[in-house]
Amino acid sequence: MVVEIYFIVICLLTLSLAFLLTKFLSKSKIKNVPKGSMGYPLIGETYGFLKALRQDKGSEWLEERVAKYGPVFKTSILGSPTVFIIGQQGNKFVLGSSHDVLSSKKPPTLQRIFGKQSLLELTGSRFKLVKGEMLKFLKPECLQNYVEKMDELVKTVLLRELKENKTIEVVRLMKKLTYDMACNILFDIDEQTREVLYEDFILAFKAIHSLPINFPGTSLWKGLKARERIVDKILPIMNKRREELSKGVLSSTNDMISCLLAIRDENNQPLDEEMIVGTFIFIFVAGHDTSATLMTLMIWKLSRDQEVYNNVLEEQMEIIKQREGNEDRLTWGEIQNMKYTWRVAQELMRMIPPLFGAFRKTIEDTNYEGYDIPKGWQVYWASCGTHMNKDIFENPEKFDPSRFENRTKSIPPFSYIPFGAGLHYCIGNEFARVQTLTTIHNFVKTYEWSQMNLEETITRRPMPYPSLGLPIKIKPRCNMS
C-alpha cells in the first residue's frame, strides 16, 4: 500500500512538473535557447548523467551531446533545466562572471544538504566577507604552522591502521585520515564527537548528487536525516564557543567555528546561525572528500606506474637524507621541495579531476555565444572540456608530469581548473596540497605495497575513486636508510 502511494505521488509530481515546464517554455520570450533534450519529466537526464559518471564515462556522455548539439546544449539535471557550456571560453564565462550574472545557487539536492545560506550560496559583499575571514586559516603563513601537527596526525593514523602486514582499503583510510585532519586542525572537534559524526558526513556527501526524491530509503532521505543529526551535534558546540568568545576564553583565530561566530557584517551583526551551520557542513563534506580523492589516486597511480613510483620514492628519500641529525619531523621547507611529487598530483588532477564540473544559476535572462539562457536555469561547466583538449595539452591521453615543469607553452587561463577559477577558485587548494604531500611522504617512506586488483576501474560517486575501494597488500619498508 505504501509503495502504491509513493508511485501515485511520483506520477502526480512528474505530470505537474511536465505541465509547468511546458507552459513556461511556451510562454517564454526567450527565442534562442540552446539545442538539446530535456529528458524525462522530473528526472530529466539525471539518471543517465550520474550513471555515466559512476562508470567514469562522463566525458563520453558530454562528447555525444557536443557532437549532436554543439559545445552549448540544454538538458535537465537534478530537477532543474540546465545549459552545459564546454571549453575554455565557456569556463571563463561561467567561472569568471560576477554574482549578479551567475549566482552560486545550487540544485535542490545540494541546497538541502548544505543549506540555503552556506558559503556555497553566498554572493556579493557577504561572500567576500566570509571567504576573506576563512582564508586567514588557509593562507601559506598559517599552513606553515599546521605542517608539524599534520605530520604527527598522519603518522598516528597510519600506525594505528597499519600495525601489522595486512590488506587495507585505501579509500576508507584516506577518507578517515582527511576527516580527522579537518576535525583536529580546522574545527577543533573532540575525538568522541568526530567518531559519532563520521558516518553521517559520508551519508550527507552521497546525497548531494542524488535524484531529488525524498522518500524513506532514498539517498536524499538518508542524507537529510544525517544532516539533522550533524546539526544536533554541532549546535551545542557552537553555543559553547559563542559563550567562550564573549568571555574572552577563546579568540576568533582558535578554529573555523569560532571564526565564523566572531564575524560581524557592515551593520555589526553576527552571521545567521543557519549560515554558520551550512558553511560548516559544506567545508567539512566538500573539503575532506576532495583531498581524500587525490591522496587515493596518488596511491593508485604509484601502484601501477613503476617509473613514477621510483621518481617519487627517490624525491622523498632525498628529503630525509638531507635532514640534520636524527630529526624526523616534516617541515614547511621540505614540503616546498616535493616538486616532482606535486607535479604527479597535478597531472592526475588533469586527467581525473576531483570535480567533473559544477553548477551556477542565472540571476536574470542572459546570453552566451548568441544563445539565450532563461533566468533561473542552471549553467554547468566541465573540466574535461579543456583538460583533455589536444589544442591545450599535447597528447592529453598520456600521463606526463613534466608538462607542469618549466612549461614552454603556458596553459591558457580557465583551461586547467581542478580547483576552479576566478571568483570561485577553491580556498582550500593550498591546504589540500600540504595534506596530500604530507600523507604521501609518510606513506612512501614507511611502507611498501601492491594493488590487489590491477583491473580495478575508476568510478564517480560523485568524486572519482577506485571502484573496489583500492584494496592493497601493505608492509613496513625494510630498509629506511
Does residue 265 belong to any structural domain of this protein?
yes
In whole angstroms, what is the distance from residue 400 CA to residue 395 CA? 9
List pLDDT tens digits, range 43-79.
889 889 989 988 889 999 999 999 999 999 999 987 7
Position 159 in a domain: yes
* DSSP code, position 367: E
| Residue range 249-280, pLDDT digits in tens | 988 888 889 999 998 888 888 988 888 898 88
Let me know if residue 15 belongs to a domain: no
Q: What is the CATH number of the domain that holds 456?
A: 1.10.630.10
- pLDDT at position 22: 47
Q: Do the domain assignments include residue 146?
A: yes
Tell me the pLDDT tens digit for each residue of 84-140: 999 999 999 999 888 778 887 666 787 888 887 777 777 777 778 888 888 888 888
Segments forming the whole domain that contains residue 341: 37-476
pLDDT for 20: 53
pLDDT at 408: 53
Q: Calculate the dihedral angle through the C-alpha atoms of 383, 388, 390, 391, rounding to the nearest 10 degrees.
A: 10
Question: In this model, does residue 373 exceed pLDDT 80?
Answer: yes
Mean pLDDT of 429-434: 91
> pLDDT value at position 239?
94
- Is 19 contained in some domain? no
Task: Give the three-state DSSP class for 340.
Answer: helix
**pLDDT band per the 50, 70, 90 thresholds, residue 174:** very high
Q: How many domains does the chain have?
A: 1
Rounded Cα distance, 335 and 178, in Å: 18
* Residue 29 resides in a domain: no
Residue 134 lies in a domain: yes
d(CA 342, CA 433): 8
Q: Is residue 370 part of a domain?
A: yes
Helix (H) or strand (E) holding 382: strand 378-382
Confirm whether residue 478 is marked as ligand binding.
Answer: no
Residue pair 292/303 in contact (Cβ under 8 Å)? The answer is: no
Q: Which pTM does this prediction carry?
A: 0.86
